[in-house]
Structure 1
Amino acid sequence: MAKEEIIVIGGGIGGLTAGALLSQAGCKVTILEASREWGGCAGKFQRHKFLYASGATLGMGLENGGIHERVFRHLGITVDAFRLDEVMKIRQAARTLTFHADRQQHVQSLQQAFPSYSHEIAGFYQDVYQKAAKIRLLMKKLPILPIKTGREAFELLTSLKPTHVTLTPDFFKTVGALLKKHSLHQCKDFVHFIDGQLIDSMQTVSKDCALLMGVLALDIYHEGAYYVKGGLYQFADELVEAAKRNGAKTVLGRRVTAVRKIGNQYEVEDHRGHIRTADHVICNAPVQALRNLMEKDLFEQLSSGVKKRSKQDTWGTMTLYMSLDEAHLPEDFPLFQQLMNHNGKSHDEGNHLFLSVSDHNDRNRAPEGFRTLTVSTHINLDHWKSKTQYDQNKAVLKEKMLDTIRYYYPSIDQAIIDIYPGAPKAWERFPHRPGGVVGGFAQTRTHSLFFSLSHRTPLKNFWLCGDSVFPGGGTIGVSVSGYHCFHSITGRRLIQ
């Protein structure tokens, strides 16, 4: 039998995971990436002697049994990373909280920070950890949601254990409901802390976050959080090399402009007019890109859910990339931290920042004595539509973000060598995110689990992966969707 030819559109982590697994399985794979860098939102860029992590920075899923560990072991990949005992610091005006990897230590530190709610916090986390453990047991076999075929239904049913019945009442609840159950909704600073964890991983806050996805997000750092030397682009580079070792063609600088179907095959045309044919197409682009990517008659055959969400913006991000002289940084400057604007109440528009600085010894990112820092905040893209709005917002938000950092680190201006702002157009221009959308859809009750978008489409052999489809954003989520494409095409599983 001839090898099936597969084209992967988009060289982000999800598409590279699918492409590397499929090429190892004997498929004839071509991966096309529009930019000059692999990794998508987990990519990098270089300025002078400094290398900046463009988006995702915190390494997850590398623990034994984690999705990256399983994929990398399957492919014979290793990455240089070390596990964090203290995942991050969270600074809320005068209060500094520490997210400890050890569950017991984490709960105890929060009880000390909020002594009036010590009993309630213990009960809340007991619920979180118990529910998350049950879900992880279910997810070990990586079942596919939402169910589209008999085989997918069978695989889900055979993954279920009697204990999972106890989760059914939680399908339509939110993390906010769990906070209220334990009377923690009254503790505004604790809710603000929880919301800070959820917005960065679930793209929403506790009042709207689906409970079953939310408890996984609150528990996942305890399973393992890692600093990856150089940055998460290392995942992408290793996946590309694995794909190439197994015969895949990997092509940078090829922006796909059209996808059409001719008979039983697909034609994929790039911006240079080069046309490639394939039996399967895996589209690792946001669903918002599909309308302009696919020929109209083909696009109209997609599900109503995909077509509806292709018109919806998700969050955007404003990012600052800085090179720093570490002589002016405090010795205890955390590798990862969240800073809350001391006057802000929300978790967007510069009121909540996520900071990731290169390790003191990471020579991949900066010369000795220097560091690079990535700072990001969620933004509402509706406020960036006109050029006047855009230019004004970019300037105002840059200064607001810097002011928040100065509040906690007054000497930061002495440390700063260069600043490169990354506003929505930068995300549209480089990783080719339509309109600057990042992070995927918020994991609300109407966008998660059985209400997610499937990697499977009504078009035979046309697949989706990436942060638009189940299980969502982050390198863990997109890798699972890439695995689902591999599994659905070949019927194969990862080695245990």
Structure 2
Amino acid sequence: MAKKEIIVVGGGIGGLTAGAMLAQAGCRVTILEASREWGGCAGKFQRNQFLFASGATLGMGLEKGGIHERIFRHLGIKTDAQRLDSVMKIKQGDRTLTFHADRQQHVQALQQAFPQKKNEISGFYEEVYQKAAKIRLLMKKLPILPVKTGKEAFELLSSLRPAHVSLTPDFFKTISSLLKKHDLHTCHDLVSFIDGQLIDSMQTTSRDCALLMGVLALDIYHEGAFYVQGGLYQFAYELMNAAKRNGAQAILGRRVTSIKKVGDRFEIEDHRGKIRTADHVICNAPIQSLPGLLDHPSYLQLSTGLKKRAKKDTWGTMTAYLSLKDAYLPADFPLFQQLMNPDGKGHDEGDHLFLSISDPHDRLRAPEGYRTLTVSTHINLDHWKNDEQYEENKALFTEKMLRTIRAYYPAIDEALVELYPGAPKAWERFTYRPSGMVGGFPQTRSHSLFLSVSHRTSLKNFWLCGDSVFPGGGTIGVSVSGYHCFHSITGRKLIQ
């Protein structure tokens, strides 16, 4: 029997996962990445002697049974990662909270911070952890949502247990409703703390975050959070090398400009005019890229719902990359932290920052005595449409982010060696994401679970993976979507 020929468009974590697993299964795989770097939003770039993590920085899913651990074990990949007992610090003006990996310690610390809500916090997190445990039991077999075929329905039903019946009413609720149930909705600093976790993982806050996705997000750090030496780009390179070991071609600097369905096969043309053919195409690009990638007749074969969502913008990000002298940083400067603008009220537009700094001993990212720092905030791309506004915003946001860092770390200017701003056009230019969109759709009730975008499209043998589709963003989410493409094409399953 002839081997299936598969082209993966995009070398982010999702596409590389699909490509590596399909190559190991015996398919003929070609992975085409437009940029000169693997990893997409989990990539890297070099400036002089400093290496910066582009976006995603906190390692997840490496614990026993975690999605990355399972995929890497399936592919024979080993990683150099340090498990964190203290996942991150969260600074809110005069208050500093710690996200502890241990669940009991985490709850006790929050009870100490908010003693007037001690019993309510206990009840809230007990329910969060109970619901998350039930969902993880369901997700162990990685069922596909939304269900599109009889086989997918059967696999979902086979994953269900009696305990899952109790989750049914939660499909229609938000995290905000759970906070209100436990009388925590008026405890503004605690809600802000929870919103900080949700905005970075679910792309939305408690008011709109779907409850079932939200409890997973609030629980997932307790399953395992890791510092990866060098950065999460290591995942991308390990996956790429695994794909190559199994015979795949993995090519950088090949921007796909056209995907055309011709009979039962596809013709894929790159920016150099080279045309490749394949039985299957896996598109590891945001669905907003589809109108420009697919030829018109093929695009018309997509479902109305998918085409409608392909016209919707998602978040953008403003990022700052700093190289720092370690001697000027406090000894307890956390590897990961969130900083709230002392004068701000929201969790976007520079009022909420996520910081990731290299470990002092990580020689892959900085020479001895120096460290590299990635700082990011969510932004509304509607405010960055014209050139004059864009340049003004770029300068204003850079300074706003620095002001917030200075509020907590006054010596940051003495530590600073160089600063590189990463505005939306940089993300568009280097990762080819339309308008610089990152993170995928917010995991609200209208965008998650049964209402999310499927990896399966109505254009036969044209598949999607990445942060636009179920189960969403983050390296865990995109890896699951890559696995779903592998599973649907081959019928094979990931080892337990």
TM-score, normalised by the number of residues in structure 1: 1.00
Q: Post-superposition shift, 1:420?
A: 0.3
Q: Post-superposition shift, 1:306?
A: 1.2
Partner of 1:287: 287
Partner of 1:146: 146
Q: Post-superposition shift, 1:262?
A: 1.0
Q: Are 1:391 and 2:406 an aligned pair? A: no
Q: Post-superposition shift, 1:421?
A: 0.2
SS in 1 for 2:268: strand
SS in 2 for 1:314: coil
1:173 partner letter = K
Q: Are 1:299 and 2:299 an aligned pair? A: yes
Partner of 1:233: 233
SS in 2 for 1:171: helix
Partner of 2:325: 325
Partner of 1:266: 266
Which residues in structure 2 correspond to 1:11-50 (within 5 Å)? 11-50=11-50
Partner of 1:188: 188
SS in 2 for 1:190: helix
Which residues in structure 2 correspond to 1:110-121 (within 5 Å)? 110-121=110-121
Which residues in structure 2 correspond to 1:65-80 (within 5 Å)? 65-80=65-80
- Structure 1 CA distance for aligned equivalents of residues 464 and 137 of structure 2: 25
Q: Are 1:61 and 2:50 an aligned pair? A: no
Q: Cα deviation per residue 1:137-182 (whole Å; 9 max; x = unaligned)?
A: 0000000000000000000000000000000010010000000000
Runs of at least 5 residues in structure 2 that lack an aligned partner in the other structure: none
Partner of 1:425: 425
- Structure 1 CA distance for aligned equivalents of residues 169 and 271 of structure 2: 50
SS in 1 for 2:158: helix
Partner of 1:359: 359
- Structure 1 CA distance for aligned equivalents of residues 431 and 266 of structure 2: 24
- Structure 1 CA distance for aligned equivalents of residues 111 and 437 of structure 2: 37
Q: Post-superposition shift, 1:303?
A: 1.2
- Structure 1 CA distance for aligned equivalents of residues 168 and 349 of structure 2: 36
- Structure 1 CA distance for aligned equivalents of residues 105 and 188 of structure 2: 22
- Structure 2 CA distance for aligned equivalents of residues 286 and 443 of structure 1: 16
1:269 partner letter = E
Q: Are 1:404 and 2:404 an aligned pair? A: yes
SS in 1 for 2:172: coil
SS in 1 for 2:331: coil
Q: Post-superposition shift, 1:42?
A: 0.1
Partner of 2:278: 278
Q: Are 1:440 and 2:440 an aligned pair? A: yes
Structure 1 runs, 4 residues or longer, greater than 3 Å off:
none
Q: Cα deviation per residue 1:233-265 (whole Å; 9 max; x = unaligned)?
A: 000000000000000000000000000011110
- Structure 1 CA distance for aligned equivalents of residues 399 and 225 of structure 2: 30
2:248 partner letter = A
Q: Post-superposition shift, 1:304?
A: 1.4
Q: Cα deviation per residue 1:299-334 (whole Å; 9 max; x = unaligned)?
A: 111111211111111000000000000000000000
Partner of 2:477: 477
SS in 1 for 2:99: strand
1:454 partner letter = S
Partner of 1:176: 176
1:68 partner letter = H
1:131 partner letter = K
Q: Cα deviation per residue 1:2-43 (whole Å; 9 max; x = unaligned)?
A: 101000000000000000000000000000000000000000
Partner of 2:198: 198
Partner of 2:124: 124
Q: Post-superposition shift, 1:297?
A: 1.2
Partner of 2:210: 210
- Structure 2 CA distance for aligned equivalents of residues 379 and 309 of structure 1: 20
SS in 2 for 1:488: helix
Partner of 2:463: 463
1:135 partner letter = I
Q: Are 1:337 and 2:337 an aligned pair? A: yes
- Structure 2 CA distance for aligned equivalents of residues 308 and 408 of structure 1: 43
Q: Cα deviation per residue 1:159-212 (whole Å; 9 max; x = unaligned)?
A: 000000000010010000000000000101110110000000000000100000
- Structure 2 CA distance for aligned equivalents of residues 203 and 354 of structure 1: 13
Partner of 1:490: 490
Q: Post-superposition shift, 1:453?
A: 0.3
Partner of 2:453: 453
- Structure 1 CA distance for aligned equivalents of residues 242 and 39 of structure 2: 14
SS in 2 for 1:438: coil
1:457 partner letter = T
Q: Cα deviation per residue 1:379-423 (whole Å; 9 max; x = unaligned)?
A: 000000011110111000000000000000000000000000000
Root-mean-square deviation (CA, aligned residues, Å) is 0.4
- Structure 2 CA distance for aligned equivalents of residues 371 and 243 of structure 1: 32
Q: Cα deviation per residue 1:421-455 (whole Å; 9 max; x = unaligned)?
A: 00000000001110010000000000000000000
Partner of 2:92: 92
SS in 2 for 1:79: coil
Runs of at least 5 residues in structure 1 that lack an aligned partner in the other structure: none
SS in 2 for 1:216: helix
Q: Are 1:370 and 2:335 an aligned pair? A: no
Q: Are 1:350 and 2:320 an aligned pair? A: no
1:157 partner letter = L
Work out the number of aligned pairs and report it.
496
- Structure 2 CA distance for aligned equivalents of residues 495 and 119 of structure 1: 41
